[in-house]
Chain A
């Protein structure tokens, strides 16, 4: 683990520019952000302001075009493709708006997926998958295919997949966006629960109902952090 004085996530002056056919989109400009271990932050902002881009960079799915990113005290800028894949596998768990389960794999296999790309033994894998499924209350559906589940159930499976590898941080991009309010509530409860057990969580959401779960809200506008709201304020807002 990194030194206790340093944040788990540290973005320094991060920029992201997409260049497509002469059009340059500044998705992120001069973003500075620190997330402590065990912290729960919520990222908010209007559509197109760069929330997903920020999350992708945090999850090493994408690289910034400028600035530095320290994860657990180490710069990730110079990592090779293989090293980045390794970090994604060991340290990051993703939850997407559209669940992104593999339709040809069973619930169990979907959850096991990150473990199969690590060096976990088969016996331990099975145990961890079952634990994760139990935690989201989906153990009884282990043999089902995603298409046989409701949206809320799918997202719970996705959450199980995200935590099965016991990652350092959990990234969720509008996890309730495709769910009705009851199911959305369940998923957010789940994240809160994980947070209470010590998980570091970054959630993109613009639903103010769920903002209360977070320690801190990071407000993005047009690729910039315009406001960081601490927990006390959030409660006032709600």
Chain B
């Protein structure tokens, strides 16, 4: 212990003796450790940190309805939920929730707030008690529409209600319904899912007031809309729960063949299913974590190189220590103490950096309706991680120099013969630089691939108008409109908005293309088309009004668009896309063909138009069969207004919102935005990866360049005499410049070749994350290689410039 203190004191003295070197080391370590701590804090928040405030969060599981062919993480219907909850032996209980958006109105201020419709046992099952007032009581979970109560989050309580201690009992307006606030959730509680944090909780029995769609869904076993989360009974394992639930679900299928045939149950640990952002972000986060560890490795190599250089200068000191009888282990320990001291300083700087950058990261919050919420504060786990990598880092970059310097073969150092043993050292240094170049090339190529993906995603034609289009969503059922009143509302709305200056055309669509997680299918019977046995023909569709294709610039290939005359009472019509026409009526004229969405015996709709394929759910998707039903014949209460404009639609957002609200203030409007913003949100994952990888790639490049520079500068100082000799025998400046640059470029080229090889092998694994380009994207490989060569050239030119200014007389003088 006393020896350690002694080592520490000596190390500190050395640090202050070389403040410039120390600063460079601590800064590059700080950057390396900082990015690690930042990405780890993201990783931690998304994947590691348990649900805050929830009792024994590791006992929570998620339950999904799975379908025989396809969807694994499907929602659960309310009757199924009740049966599963009441007829199992393995769960303490099950809770059901639906995340929604509500429009909160109090004191004249209207705001869209993420909310959750939850079963009455929600809070008790999670083990959460109110910070103010109370949570829900059993009666509030009994009869539909009876108890208009709400619990709000601590954050909302503070932000919107000034932490009013008398809030419980007061009334707020949600979607223009009055709700009594009964309690405030505890501070830090974010609900039952990581990343998605509702601010208001409302009992399931109130769903008809808040959640658009089918008001009777509490009774419908076929309407699956709930996330179900359970708590395993003490002593019950996940496997036991799965085994116990399977027969129950099979029994439910038997009892309710019409709705449950072919369904099964999937149970996963909380956070491993489809709800929340974990599964979406896991691949990207894993990639990022790997990347920043590599960045740190590059920083470590720099420092190892620096220390090796410094160790050479210290050979005399070490030699004396060895001569005085110090053991090799003792010397290594002293050197390691010094490097760990450096890395701990770097780690502290890194933490500071992480504290600052994790807030920057939150700026990536995409403009989406999902109630994204991430708590990136640096908790104990992040601190431990940082401390750990700091120490490991110190050992990694300190070990090689320590072992080399303490080698007893260096005893001749006392005689200060500084010629031969340098060779082995410079070989190790060269290897480190080559590795740095190779690693940074791999990182830059990965970054390049994502940047190119983002570019190609931006430039890809989604098949519909992306510019000069604005959207605004609303749901008239939340204002208790029936179908005829709703239809009249939308008819008037279209007329009003069409009159706004700058508006070109106006239409309605049920789905907005490329909305994250939105899709819609319907069972279809096609006249003259034999569906293979057992296959339930189910097609993707949208409900749209007249002018939809004109407004979205989707070309009409054949026939006509819907008109205002395609309503109830006139013949049923449908428009299909090219892929659908091709699939069901190959080599025939699809116009006039018929299909039914109400079964073989139901009414048939006639195909009146064929439109060009476009992207519906994701930019990555392959062409899919898709059809459109006319709004006036297939009324839906929740629709999105699509408005095409002559110029930038930004300025029209306010007036469109105003038009909707002036028709009826009770109709909640949400997601009023331009199509450009909407598409950006759809690319969040790609953008996150591109920006972060780009930054880290650049950081890696800079660190590698610094490394190369350091090695070259050291080499120049070591070769001073040689350069003097060359000059004495007549070398021109160009000769000397070439000599040094050639050496630097030689190292670069080896690193480049290795890096290219590794990239070819590794980037293939990225292909699922990329868009629109191949993993071996030649332009990326070429541009990145050129960039690296250019930077390396500069990094070797600077020391080379120094080399040509060497005074041969001075270089040869002191011998």
Contacts and interface: CB of A to CB of B under 8 A. Distances in A.
A56 interface: yes
A85 B815 contact: no
B815 A113 contact: no
Interface string B710-742: 000000000001101111111111010000000
Nearest to B807: A62
Contact of A98 (B731, B808, B815): B815
Interface residues of A, number: 29
Nearest to B727: A85
Contact of A100 (B725, B731, B732): B725
Contacts of A59: 728
Contact of B730 (A89, A97, A101, A147): A89
Contact of A88 (B728, B735, B807): B728
A86 B813 CA distance: 22
A100 B719 CA distance: 12
A52 B732 CA distance: 23
Interface string B316-360: 000000000000000000000000000000000000000000000
Nearest to A113: B729
Given A103-B419, A103-B420, A89 B729 contact: yes
A56 B721 CA distance: 15
11 contacts: A59-B728, A61-B808, A81-B733, A82-B733, A88-B729, A100-B724, A100-B728, A103-B419, A114-B729, A114-B730, A117-B735
The 8 closest A-B pairs by CB, nearest first: A89-B730, A98-B815, A114-B729, A88-B730, A117-B730, A62-B809, A61-B809, A85-B732
Most interface-central of B727, B730, B812 (chain A CB within 10 A): B730
Given A62-B809, A102-B722, A147 B420 contact: yes
A171 to B, nearest CB: 10
A94 B729 contact: yes
B723 to A, nearest CB: 10
Interface string A153-165: 0000000010001
A89 to B, nearest CB: 2
Contact of A147 (B419, B726, B733, B812): B419
A100 B812 contact: yes
Contacts of B420: 103, 147
B732 A117 contact: yes
Nearest to A57: B809
Interface of A: 52, 56, 59, 61-62, 81-82, 85-86, 88-90, 92, 94, 96-98, 100-104, 113-114, 117-118, 147, 161, 165
A153 B306 CA distance: 36
Given A62-B807, A92-B730, A96-B815, 6 more contacts: A86-B732, A94-B728, A102-B722, A104-B722, A113-B729, A117-B735
Contacts of B728: 59, 61, 88, 94, 100
Contact of B815 (A86, A97, A104, A118): A97
A101 B731 CA distance: 15
A88 B724 CA distance: 12
A198 B731 CA distance: 26
A92 B812 CA distance: 16
A104 B807 CA distance: 21
Contact of A82 (B722, B732, B807): B732
Contacts of A86: 730, 732
A210 B327 CA distance: 50
Most interface-central of A52, A56, A92, A104 (chain B CB within 10 A): A56
A81 B420 CA distance: 32
A90 B420 CA distance: 31
Interface string B677-699: 00000000000000000000000
A82 B735 CA distance: 11
A100 B815 CA distance: 9
B485 to A, nearest CB: 92
Nearest to B734: A82
Contacts of B731: 85, 89, 117
B815 A90 contact: no
B804 to A, nearest CB: 9
A113 B813 contact: no
Contacts of B807: 62
Contacts of A90: 730
A100 B733 CA distance: 20
Contacts of A113: 725-726, 729
Contacts of B733: 81-82, 85
Interface in B284-299: none
Contacts of B735: 117
Interface string B774-815: 000000000000000000000000000000000111001101
Contacts of A97: 815
A61 B728 CA distance: 6
A27 to B, nearest CB: 11
B703 to A, nearest CB: 29
A21 B731 CA distance: 30
Contacts of A98: 815
Interface in B756-779: none
Contacts of A94: 728-729
Nearest to A164: B729
Contacts of A62: 807, 809
Nearest to A145: B420
A101 B727 CA distance: 13
Contacts of A161: 729
Contacts of A114: 729-730
B359 to A, nearest CB: 50
B734 to A, nearest CB: 8
Most interface-central of B729, B735, B815 (chain A CB within 10 A): B729
A220 to B, nearest CB: 17
A98 B731 CA distance: 20
A102 B732 CA distance: 17
Contacts of B809: 56, 61-62
A86 B729 CA distance: 9
Nearest to B733: A81
A23 B733 CA distance: 30
Contacts of B419: 103, 147
A94 B558 CA distance: 92
Contacts of B722: 102-104
Contacts of B732: 82, 85-86, 117
Nearest to A97: B815
Contacts of A56: 809
B412 to A, nearest CB: 13
Nearest to A59: B728
A92 B731 CA distance: 13
B729 A117 contact: yes
B721 A100 contact: yes
B611 to A, nearest CB: 73
Contacts of B724: 100
A96 B728 CA distance: 11
B262 to A, nearest CB: 76
Interface in B401-419: 419
Contacts of B813: 52
A47 to B, nearest CB: 13
A102 B722 CA distance: 6
A106 to B, nearest CB: 14
Nearest to B815: A98
Contacts of A100: 721, 724-725, 728, 812, 815
A81 B815 CA distance: 25
Interface string B379-419: 00000000000000000000000000000000000000001
A114 B725 CA distance: 10
A146 to B, nearest CB: 9
A78 B583 CA distance: 87
B716 to A, nearest CB: 14
